[in-house]
Amino acid sequence: MRVEQRASLLVQCASQLCLISGPGHGWTGARTLGGLAVAAVALAAFAAWQHRNPEPMLDLRLLARPGFSGAAIVIALFAFALAGTLLALTQFLQLVLAYGPLKAGLALLQVAVAAAFGNGAGAALDAPLLAAFVLRRSVPGAPPVAQAAPSAEPAKSD
């Protein structure tokens, strides 16, 4: 496992621990604040390593581009919204409708299947034609779509 993956995993685990233990141990408790401190230090170490690494997992210079950073913020907001919705739906199914944990999980399984399908469909739709369309629309003077997209047919020799 690479250093970036370890730091990312540590940030995620520490953050989750804080969110889970916060209500029980208090948001200003030593366990919660300690977990937040570990997450902050791991995040800073991750950023420092990414800045020094010749092959970074995330090139931090991309965050200076408004289009990239805006898209990253929107994706993060959608992820938080989905997580919050799943938490609220799980609580509703278990506390209001008296579903057991397994039944509630199976009821929400369609969300996971839809997310997996959506991710796969998005990757499949990221074809050279779409990339060329975006390139042509965002870079003045770029070649037309037909010229920028690689041909699917092999070149024929005369």
Residue 90 lies in a domain: no
Position with higher pLDDT, 65 vs 102:
102
Tokens of 94: 């278990």
Residue 156 lies in a domain: no
pLDDT of 154 over the 70 cut: no
- Domain of residue 34: give its range: 1-61
Split into its structural domains, the chain has a count of 1
Average pLDDT over residues 65-76: 86
Residue 131 lies in a domain: no
Which amino acid appears at position 86 of this protein?
A: L
Residue 125 lies in a domain: no
Contact 4, 49 (CB under 8 A): yes
pTM of the model: 0.54
pLDDT tens for 19-65 read 787 788 888 888 888 888 888 888 888 888 878 878 877 778 888 88
Element (H, E) at 112: helix 109-125
**CA–CA distances in Å: residue 150 to residues 132, 147, 158:** 9, 8, 20
Contact 60, 39 (CB under 8 A): no
C-alpha span between 142 and 139 (Å, rounded) = 6
